[in-house]
Structure 1
Amino acid sequence: MKLFLQFLFWGFFIGLSTGCNQQPSDKPTNTTIDINPAKLPALRPGEAVATVAGGCFWAVQEEMKSLKGVREAISGYAGGDLEYPTYEQVGTDQTGHAETVQIYYDPNVLSYDVLLDAFFAGHDPTQLNRQGPDVGKHYRSVVFYRTPAEKTRIELAIRREQAHHKAPIVTQVIPFSAFYPAETYHQDYYRHNPYNLYIHLVSEPKVEKFRDKMERWLK
């Protein structure tokens, strides 16, 4: 029995240690891996776009896509200096990029303020350069603004959120410069890999907590 429990423990530890840094080789050998960057959707008339980072993008993308008014959410990279980075490069924590999600939504259905509240509901904004088992600047909390008005709305959202935390919120508020879509196999990773250990143990509780908080805004 002791050996069996040790086996379970090390299996759990190894699964979590790979975390959101799993490489394509971690996928089943019978699965086709598309490492080409995903294509960004064209912005539709009357549609708005927002860009946020809150830890592993597998969960954040799923959270954002579940909101009413969101047409699409794309996992990718932003906030760094390297153009067209790869997942492996961002994972070194040397590019300055964060794992990021870009959201295409209808502001007549989902206001920017509610979208910001949803973003904060989906992760812990008091954790500096990490989210749970994922450690590094590429897992930091960031909201990228496109206009001075958006920056003001973000700062107000942070004040609202701070009332729910004893520790200070460390979310960065940064002007948007560029967003690079992640490899195709990362898109909808949460939905395509329900039996993945990391998804099951880390992402699912995070998404379920988000859905509880944002229930009235879910599709």
Structure 2
Amino acid sequence: MKYLKLMSLCLFAIIASSCNGNGQTNSSKKANQKDLKMDLTPPKGEKVAAFAEGCFWCSEHIFESVVGVKDVISGYAGGTTINPTYDLVNTETTGHAESVLVYYDPKIISYEELVKVFFASHDPTTPNQQGPDRGSSYRSILFYQTPEEQQIAMNEIKKLSASDAFANPIVTELKPLNAFYKAEDYHQNYINSGKGDSNPYVRNVSLPRYEKFKKTYKGKLKPGA
């Protein structure tokens, strides 16, 4: 379950539904779940990378805006449960975190740059929490597939930890990308498709986080982003 920091009781009631505020019943969610373990082999000329940094609605929206990113899939990674559903992941018993699988053109953008996007788009210092969302499914995780990617991630954490980029210690986990499960269809492209236009969580949490990222990130964004 997601909670908001202390605000007004009225705002709490409106936004507390957060990533689950889509009006679908549990039965319809299960019907939409394809229980899909993604093939991590990318299309020719592309690579894939995965990141967990809180609610995947906003993470997807952020990575989609970056030049060189071809596609982004919302899903679940980092846990042990096979074929997790949204409802199950939110019980905080599966080990999975809401994550995004990023397909990118390595000739345009590198894994190292995607790691910079990751750290520019969330707070990596809050254990099992991202903004108003609390629980292990919202923890910060950098996934890697090769020793080279692992070293890149470690170097960036070391660099940021030695700087004044964050007031508190970075708690981001480093984990191998062993499996990635695609989330239910209604989660995919949630913001860019307009599905979240009437969702208070998107207006009050996701979009402000996105705007903050655009002001912070020093790399290239797609036109109109």
| Same-fold call, TM cutoff 0.5 | yes
Q: Partners of 2:186 and 2:211 in 1: how far apart?
A: 23
Q: Which TM-score applies when normalising by structure 2?
A: 0.85
Residue of structure 2 in register with 1:3 after alignment: none
Residue of structure 2 in register with 1:96 after alignment: 95
Query: Where in structure 1 are there 5+ consecutive unaligned residues?
Result: 1-7, 27-31
The Cα shift of 1:113 comes to 1.1
Secondary structure of the equivalent of 1:150? Answer: helix
Q: Partners of 1:217 and 1:143 in 2: how far apart?
A: 21
Residue of structure 1 in register with 2:215 after alignment: 212
Q: Does 1:123 align with 2:130?
A: no
Query: Where in structure 2 are there 5+ consecutive unaligned residues?
Result: 1-6
**One of 181, 189, 202 as aligned partner of 1:199:** 202
Q: Which runs of 4+ in 1 moved over 4 A?
A: 38-42
Q: Partners of 1:216 and 1:127 in 2: how far apart?
A: 25
Secondary structure of the equivalent of 1:25? Answer: coil
Write the deviation string for residues 148-171 of structure 1: whole angstroms up to 9, x where unpaired. 110000011112332201210000
Secondary structure of the equivalent of 1:142? Answer: strand
Pick closer, same or farther for the CA change 1:116–1:82 going to 2, 3 Å: same
The Cα shift of 1:36 comes to 2.9
Secondary structure of the equivalent of 1:190? Answer: coil
The correspondence of residues 153-168 of structure 1 with structure 2, limited to 5 A, is 153-162=152-161, 163=163, 164-168=165-169
**Corresponding letter in the other structure for 2:88:** Q
Q: Does 1:184 align with 2:181?
A: no
Residue of structure 1 in register with 2:83 after alignment: 84
Q: Is the 8 A contact 1:145 1:176 kept in 2?
A: yes
Q: Partners of 1:103 and 1:165 in 2: how far apart?
A: 25
The alignment covers a number of residue pairs equal to 209
Secondary structure of the equivalent of 2:84? Answer: coil
Identity %: 42
Residue of structure 2 in register with 1:48 after alignment: 47
